[in-house]
């Protein structure tokens, strides 16, 4: 079936403030792989990584607010549709966005803002693979690999596993919006 998840990596903001803003609290439970609806871990790179299997994460306005006095990198992945999105926010402003949607073609990529330094080399490498091999959607990985380069975390743990030994299971202290509702 494939991954259908969202992740937020944030640094520069106290963890308790992040949890409060998202209506979350840490439990006593931990897990080796991010399987619970919402989990989190402090990465060796210094980013605090949240992982949403329930897809109940904030929209653009929420990401903007969460990034106040902090840096934030958001990833949205839907492997079933081969769509991926990565955005970077700092101090309430979106710095860049990289999006791929295979429904617009295997070479589809929308990029806006000031691309991170690693973008060009990652894009070139994966576009070359797409041209030479063409048997997979390599462009899908461009947003994901850019974020992995910046934060040290890739949503699927490939190729070397997750950079942490366990994730803390988080629970919601207020109801989350339903991702399928549009109001």
Q: How far apart are CA 1 and CA 96, in angstroms?
A: 29
Q: Would you state the pLDDT for residue 135?
A: 79
Which strands make up the sheet holding 83-90, listed edge to edge? 24-31, 167-172, 38-42, 48-52, 4-11, 71-78, 83-90, 93-101, 110-113
Positive or negative, the CA dihedral 140, 157, 168, 37 is: positive
Q: What was the pLDDT predicted at 183? A: 40
pTM value surpassing 0.85: yes
pLDDT at 182 (0 to 100)? 42
Encode the chain (183 residues) as per-residue pLDDT tens digits. Answer: 589 999 999 999 999 999 999 999 999 999 999 999 999 999 999 999 999 999 999 999 999 999 999 999 999 999 999 999 999 999 999 999 999 999 998 899 999 999 999 999 999 999 999 999 877 899 999 999 999 999 999 999 988 899 999 999 999 997 655 544 444
Residue 20 — φ and ψ, nearest 5°? Answer: -60, -45
State residue 2's pLDDT score: 87
Q: What's the confidence (pLDDT) of residue 171?
A: 96
């Amino acid at each position: 079936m494939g991954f259908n998840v969202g992740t937020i990596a944030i640094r520069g903001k106290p963890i308790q403030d992040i949890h409060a803003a998202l209506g979350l609290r840490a439990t006593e439970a931990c897990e080796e792989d991010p399987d619970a609806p919402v989990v989190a871990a402090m990465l060796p790179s210094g980013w605090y990584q949240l992982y949403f299997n329930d897809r109940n994460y904030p929209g653009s306005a929420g990401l903007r607010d969460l990034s106040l006095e902090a840096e934030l990198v958001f990833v949205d992945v839907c492997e079933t549709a081969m769509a991926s999105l990565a955005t970077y926010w700092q101090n309430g402003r979106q710095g860049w966005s990289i999006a791929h949607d295979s429904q617009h073609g295997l070479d589809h990529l929308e990029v806006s803002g000031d691309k991170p330094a690693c973008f060009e080399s990652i894009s070139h490498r994966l576009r070359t693979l797409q041209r030479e091999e063409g048997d997979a959607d390599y462009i899908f990985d461009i947003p994901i690999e850019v974020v992995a380069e910046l934060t040290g975390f890739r949503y699927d743990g490939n190729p070397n596993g997750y950079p942490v030994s366990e994730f803390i299971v988080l629970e919601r202290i207020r109801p989350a919006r339903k991702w399928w509702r549009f109001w």
